[in-house]
A and B are shown apart, each in its own frame.
Chain A
Amino acid sequence: MKSRQARITHVPLARWLAIEFSGLGIFSLLWLVLHSPLAAYSAFVGGLIFIVPNAWFVHRVYRYQGARNAHLMVGNLFRAETTKIALTAIFFAAVFTLMEPVYVPALLFTFAVMVIAGGALRWLIRPQPRR
């Protein structure tokens, strides 16, 4: 008879962050070469607006695991999502009011690309259960 051991899911947050920051660096360099330093700077800020709340979301979602904690898992998922959207709104508001000048197309375009790439990254490099 097999012994049943609890499996804990390992979240590759460091790997995701490394890939996201590398992609953001390459994207900002592209903006620098194709447009201007201001566009590159704005693109980098746009990427950061996605990366920081998303890292918070990942960190919070995996606080509870296992069937016994299912209700805590779902509650934490809702709370983490609310915080993520609120943080995104606050960061955008802060950038648009406090940073001058900003190249808005680069900022919004990079943010949108990072959001889509972040979803794809989670699907490609999934959290793995470990004994």
Chain B
Amino acid sequence: MEMVFIAAAIIIGMGALATGIGFGILGGKLLEATARQPEMANQLQVKTFIMAGLLDAVPMIGVGIAMYLIFVVAG
């Protein structure tokens, strides 16, 4: 039973870590590029938005599986 909770914690923790790093790099690059070319700010925001969608896809599925493990398999 404890192993299920550990597995769910690892899934959520790793997902959060990866999303944090990814979004940190993405946001940093957006600020950097906007400072260099302010007239491109809106286009850069659109590109960031599209990349954010791709970036959070896997952690979102991970959250779903972790919740399944916690509330259905262990519960």
Q: B-contacting residues of A (Cβ < 8 Å)?
A: 7-9, 49-50, 61-62, 65-67, 70-71, 73-74, 77-78, 81, 84-85, 88-89, 92-93, 96-97, 104, 108, 111-112, 115-116, 118-119, 122-123, 126-127, 129
A15–B61 alpha-carbon span in the complex (Å): 24
State the total of A-B contacts with C-beta under 8 angstroms.
105
Q: How far is the CB of A123 from chain B (nearest CB, A)?
A: 5
**Distance between A72 CB and nearest chain B CB, rounded to angstroms:** 11
Tell yes or no: B41 within 8 A of A by CB: yes
Q: Which residues of B contact A81 (CB under 8 A)?
A: 19, 23, 52, 56
Cβ of B9 under 8 Å from chain A = no
- Report B's interface with A, CB cutoff 8 A: 16, 19, 23, 26-27, 30-31, 34-35, 38-39, 41-43, 45-46, 48-50, 52-54, 56-57, 59-61, 63-68, 70-72, 75
Interface CB pairs A-B, < 8 A, 20: A65-B45, A67-B34, A67-B35, A70-B41, A74-B27, A78-B27, A84-B60, A85-B63, A88-B60, A89-B63, A92-B63, A97-B71, A108-B61, A115-B60, A119-B50, A122-B53, A123-B50, A126-B46, A126-B50, A129-B43
A108 contacts B42, CB within 8 Å? no
Q: Tell me which of B46, B61, B70 contacts A111 (CB under 8 A).
A: B61
Q: Out of A93, A115, A123, which one reaches B67, CB within 8 Å? A: A93
Partner of B54, one of A49, A73, A74, A119: A119
With CB as the reference atom, state the residue of chain B lying closest to A74. Answer: B27
